[in-house]
Structure 1
């Protein structure tokens, strides 16, 4: 195992001595509740992160009044008391705290409305609205250019906010001038078209930021610690480059900034930045360019969730610190576990970005950590009043989470699954999503580390239940694939959810000719004893189980993810979707990337199409009143799942307490499955 040395060296930032090089950046996580309720909830949220061993924690704040925004207020002295409670909670557990100011695209002057504003009223998309609302108007508008008086008022407000930050007990204040927010728009020639002292040259475009820093230092004190977030490049054609950012950093160092976080790109950038397929550490070169230009500490972190990648970035001299957001949401104990050498115990972030997509409507939740944003309700697993015999049926994420929590609460847990390995649908999803394999391996280790009796290759029947006599049965057997009631839906060239799940469970197809059955049995045998998602993904370039031309029926999340995987393997793919929108349930972070990949690969995207027949030549669809043939050699039914009530109905008359969770009760994604297992086990 690689030794983590740089990551746990102390470092000085301004007046602060940090115990390690891991920084938790500020995130928009405040739910739209009454102020006292928000503070009470967030004390638990931030205390858990501080307990986990991170050196410094950021809290996202706003210097202006907004509309149901996900940041904490700093525009009035009344907020100081609540913020002081948060800093105290963080300090109690040995971490430093800083407040970040500047997130968003909007401002409210005096008693006026909340407006989308900018240096010149430029919308890079050419449309009303912003990439994220972040407390802005609910009805999108075009941005309005700021007047000189308004710019001067903003500067004063930032200074007043910094004074409140210090009075609330924060150890530092950070101004964010990145990702396309208001201050960043002043830095870019694409959005700053002003012809006054705030536009034109780089020096003029930086004037607002420098005046803010100066005003903050005047009101919060020159002996305080000040940091700044910059985008290493906006990643937009005609925008600012890494060299420009390096020059900005030099100027900021002279202005008294003590540390710089280097982010990558703007929210508008037509480049995948944080998505699943972007390699970890891909953007560290932007931080390295800034580090060469300054003598103050520089932090990298965009798309770094692995502590080994973080260590490498530091060891190679590309940065002095690493900021980790999603990784610390997935596992707040990451720093402590890494320091103790327990890398295998770190719960891996799978890069689904569900947390980011919830920033406009907190609380945010995590696909692999169901406690996130529920810390105030479930700070720890409390012992059950009575230890019971709990049978969990299904070793997918919902069943595993229910087993984990129930075992920690003192119940006698037996986990059964008919497959030869744990993971449920994650075993299939790991083939299409490179980051899920780590999650499957982690869950397998987790179950085997707890007092859980594991029975694989075991079908749960009423007879087995009579033998085991459980007090509680938790049904997590997964959902049912809906049937497609059209001619040809049971042909040998048609694969459904069950076929693929059975194949990866080590069982061959029971349909098709001798050749197909033989191939499926060989493939199933291979997978049963040698399951390696990356190898299976590579093998998809060949003719089994999908031939050259593939029609995917169902353009939701599962269908889109499969289609992207297949076009990457050189297949000719068509997606057939009955609604008018492909990827309707795909989050905003990934959808545009997938659609771009599919279009560039020449995938045929059929919307408003109803399947009428499947033949050996492909799929016949009805669209716009006419019948068309979508040519295909293989057809995949990728529609959504339905609740699985079969076993629950069989048990209903036996007097056993039964809970149905995960897709078995209500089909969803990993986040929903994990949460249902967590919450159900808490009440057993």
Structure 2
């Protein structure tokens, strides 16, 4: 018996039977060919009941990742469907046209994006072209032809994307659809485009494969679609489709499309209930559903029939099978930062995952190392932060004898502090997981253990991994003036982020606080959250122009935090440096200009570059031992680099 039996019951969705209730709704990977097949195959092997290939433009020509606009796509579909079939996972394709929600980098220089009207998308700032009646009819037929190719290629279903602010959503939305013809104005007219697409698809493929539609539950476009309007849309189309998938938001509030850890688990369920309670067809729900326990409760309470756990399955493609084997504690958790998945997609065009080194690289790198060390070694890991823990875990999986020494009383490194900040508790889940794994692997762990030459000589390791992290600088350093310390940095009311998180000094703060952000990450945001929660007036001064500017793709990683901060007693001043700190005041300016401003500040927190802890490097090298430096000791100062570096060294030694 599985731990959550109701999740492992099959469900009929039109002509298709989904073997279990854990599914993957469509999400961008920007992969193609074998990497894309291997990515989905890893989740199929892991027990997922259904997976949907990412939203693909029905006009995508040959030469694109999935050339859905021509029969050239059939060869790829035949290969990927054949690879999924032995695992029992059903494979769908989401079809769409982006409308105005398209990057100008993807548009030919002589084209304007087709749309319901001329309202620009807030992220890309292009005024689109209103579609003519002929263009609408042509687009409708393109959807039908795409559905035929999905069927002919051997896939199990097609998912019509009518959400997220894309083309069909634009027609449905009273905020975006200002047309005065039969496609605009009344509810019935705004529905016409979607209904004609569904009719055309049914005329093309009948009921040979499943046909579903993804609808918004709440779109957060001012004056747009509310849960009540979306319930009416769902009721209007449900007789013509086999399932309805619900998803929140649009580009007007981008972070709600992929809710970060700032939002509660199950953040979309309150909006979903208005819709799921009035429709009869199978319902797919999403929105920070990270655990099997939560998914099981949703199905048990009748709030959804299929539960999409996209990011949880990026973090651990074996999630379903582990639950079946009663190994829930061994599921690698998603920590909800969005920095590895959508953050990397939108900033670098590459899918990744903070906690899973192999995500989107399954064709070359398995989820866990599948080789054993030819010659098992004695490995000493110095440092129990995320880099050291992952290095120790991976090395132990490969058969090495591993001992880990941590200088403080707690494992977790800087995440010990970070998980204490408001809205950041999920960060600690990866530490809990890694520590549990090390205990299962019987890694020898020593805390409160400073490592020096004598300790190394006593252990006599074959190789040493230094994951000693970094420590906040207290010498007044700022990047804008690398030679000159900030005058006044030594005053007693000047603190580091670690002081704020670890020494309980905030209870003694009062009045106004100034946070200086010299690195543009979430660290300064979390400091501001702590100070605001303590009732202080907070001003953040940064050398960057935006809050969290160095975090990958801030609209989806920092957007929720920015809203939260700006809703409080908070101000932000970007593009400035510190001139000097005095008792009760801080003088700031713009680098390379003479202008200076003075801000009241009873307490100052400097969030800047840390000093990598590398003292042991030379000592170890003088002992003629092999040493590897990973994590923040390399000066990288980000969680994904730490975990990935630990995985890489553990797989290679």
TM over 0.5: yes
Q: Is the 2:120–2:126 contact (alpha carbons within 8 Å) kept by the matching residues of 1? A: no
TM-score, normalised via structure 1 length: 0.86
* Aligned residue pairs, count: 626
What value does the CA root-mean-square deviation take over the aligned residues? 2.7
2:249 alignment partner in structure 1 = 265
Moved more, 560-569 or 177-186: 560-569
Q: 1:500 offset after TM fit, Å?
A: 6.1
Moved more, 178-187 or 383-392: 383-392
Q: Which of 590, 598, 605 is the matching residue for 1:636?
A: 605
1:143 alignment partner in structure 2 = 128
Q: How does 1:171-210 map to 2 (within 5 A)?
A: 171-210=156-195
Residues of 1 paired with 2:359 and 2:254: CA distance? 31
Residues of 2 paired with 1:103 and 1:495: CA distance? 51
**Shift in alpha-carbon separation, 1:202–1:209, aligned structure 2, 3 A:** same
Moved more, 188-197 or 609-618: 609-618
Q: How does 1:392-411 map to 2 (within 5 A)?
A: 392-411=381-400
Residues of 2 paired with 1:566 and 1:54: CA distance? 43
Q: 1:247 offset after TM fit, Å?
A: 1.7
1:446 alignment partner in structure 2 = 437
Q: 1:477 offset after TM fit, Å?
A: 1.0
> 4+ runs of 1 displaced by more than 4 Å?
66-69, 106-114, 270-273, 497-501
Q: Which of 108, 115, 132 is the matching residue for 1:118?
A: 115
Q: How does 1:142-541 map to 2 (within 5 A)?
A: 142-254=127-239, 256-269=240-253, 272=256, 274-354=259-339, 355-360=341-346, 361-379=348-366, 380-381=368-369, 382-432=371-421, 433-482=424-473, 483-484=475-476, 485-496=485-496, 499=499, 503=502
Residues of 2 paired with 1:619 and 1:333: CA distance? 52
Q: How does 1:81-120 map to 2 (within 5 A)?
A: 81-102=75-96, 104-105=98-99, 115-120=112-117
Specify the SS of the correspondent of 2:51. Answer: strand
Residues of 2 paired with 1:16 and 1:608: CA distance? 56
**Shift in alpha-carbon separation, 1:62–1:626, aligned structure 2, 3 A:** closer
Q: Is residue 617 from structure 1 mapped to residue 601 from structure 2 by the alignment?
A: no
Q: Is the 2:391–2:647 contact (alpha carbons within 8 Å) kept by the matching residues of 1? A: yes
- Extract unaligned runs of 5+ from structure 1: 32-37, 131-139, 504-519, 524-539
Q: Is the 2:140–2:200 contact (alpha carbons within 8 Å) kept by the matching residues of 1? A: yes
Residues of 1 paired with 2:221 and 2:107: CA distance? 34
Q: 1:178 offset after TM fit, Å?
A: 0.2
2:479 alignment partner in structure 1 = none
Moved more, 260-269 or 615-624: 615-624
1:64 alignment partner in structure 2 = 59
Residues of 1 paired with 2:62 and 2:349: CA distance? 13
Q: Is the 1:493–1:634 contact (alpha carbons within 8 Å) kept by the matching residues of 2? A: yes
Specify the SS of the correspondent of 1:293. Answer: coil
Q: Is residue 552 from structure 1 mapped to residue 515 from structure 2 by the alignment?
A: yes
Residues of 1 paired with 2:232 and 2:548: CA distance? 41
Q: 1:260 offset after TM fit, Å?
A: 0.5
TM-score, normalised via structure 2 length: 0.90
Q: Is the 1:285–1:318 contact (alpha carbons within 8 Å) kept by the matching residues of 2? A: no
Specify the SS of the correspondent of 2:92. Answer: strand
1:19-45 deviation digits (Å, cap 9, x = unpaired)? 2211111111024xxxxxx32112221
Q: 1:100 offset after TM fit, Å?
A: 0.7
Residues of 1 paired with 2:72 and 2:121: CA distance? 37
Residues of 1 paired with 2:587 and 2:62: CA distance? 49
Residues of 1 paired with 2:128 and 2:108: CA distance? 19
Q: Is residue 653 from structure 1 mapped to residue 638 from structure 2 by the alignment?
A: no
Residues of 2 paired with 1:542 and 1:315: CA distance? 44
Q: Is the 1:288–1:317 contact (alpha carbons within 8 Å) kept by the matching residues of 2? A: no
Q: Is the 1:389–1:412 contact (alpha carbons within 8 Å) kept by the matching residues of 2? A: yes
Q: 1:46 offset after TM fit, Å?
A: 1.0
Residues of 1 paired with 2:546 and 2:564: CA distance? 16
Residues of 2 paired with 1:336 and 1:387: CA distance? 29
Q: 1:185 offset after TM fit, Å?
A: 0.4
Residues of 1 paired with 2:107 and 2:149: CA distance? 19
Moved more, 598-607 or 167-176: 598-607
1:391-447 deviation digits (Å, cap 9, x = unpaired)? 111111111111111111111111111011211111111012121232332222122
**Shift in alpha-carbon separation, 1:343–1:378, aligned structure 2, 3 A:** same
Residues of 2 paired with 1:288 and 1:596: CA distance? 25
Q: 1:176 offset after TM fit, Å?
A: 0.6
Q: Is the 1:119–1:185 contact (alpha carbons within 8 Å) kept by the matching residues of 2? A: yes
Residues of 2 paired with 1:418 and 1:548: CA distance? 36
Moved more, 648-657 or 366-375: 648-657
Residues of 1 paired with 2:411 and 2:146: CA distance? 51
Residues of 2 paired with 1:165 and 1:67: CA distance? 15
Q: Is the 1:156–1:215 contact (alpha carbons within 8 Å) kept by the matching residues of 2? A: yes
Q: Is the 1:290–1:298 contact (alpha carbons within 8 Å) kept by the matching residues of 2? A: no
Q: Is residue 600 from structure 1 mapped to residue 587 from structure 2 by the alignment?
A: no
Moved more, 325-334 or 263-272: 263-272
Q: Is the 1:281–1:313 contact (alpha carbons within 8 Å) kept by the matching residues of 2? A: no
1:510-563 deviation digits (Å, cap 9, x = unpaired)? xxxxxxxxxx5xx6xxxxxxxxxxxxxxxx8732xx555332221522112221
1:358-407 deviation digits (Å, cap 9, x = unpaired)? 33444311111112112112224111222112111111111111111111
**Shift in alpha-carbon separation, 1:66–1:670, aligned structure 2, 3 A:** farther
Q: Which of 582, 601, 622 is the matching residue for 2:547?
A: 582
Q: 1:338 offset after TM fit, Å?
A: 2.6
1:266-308 deviation digits (Å, cap 9, x = unpaired)? 2313885613221112321333222232221111112222222
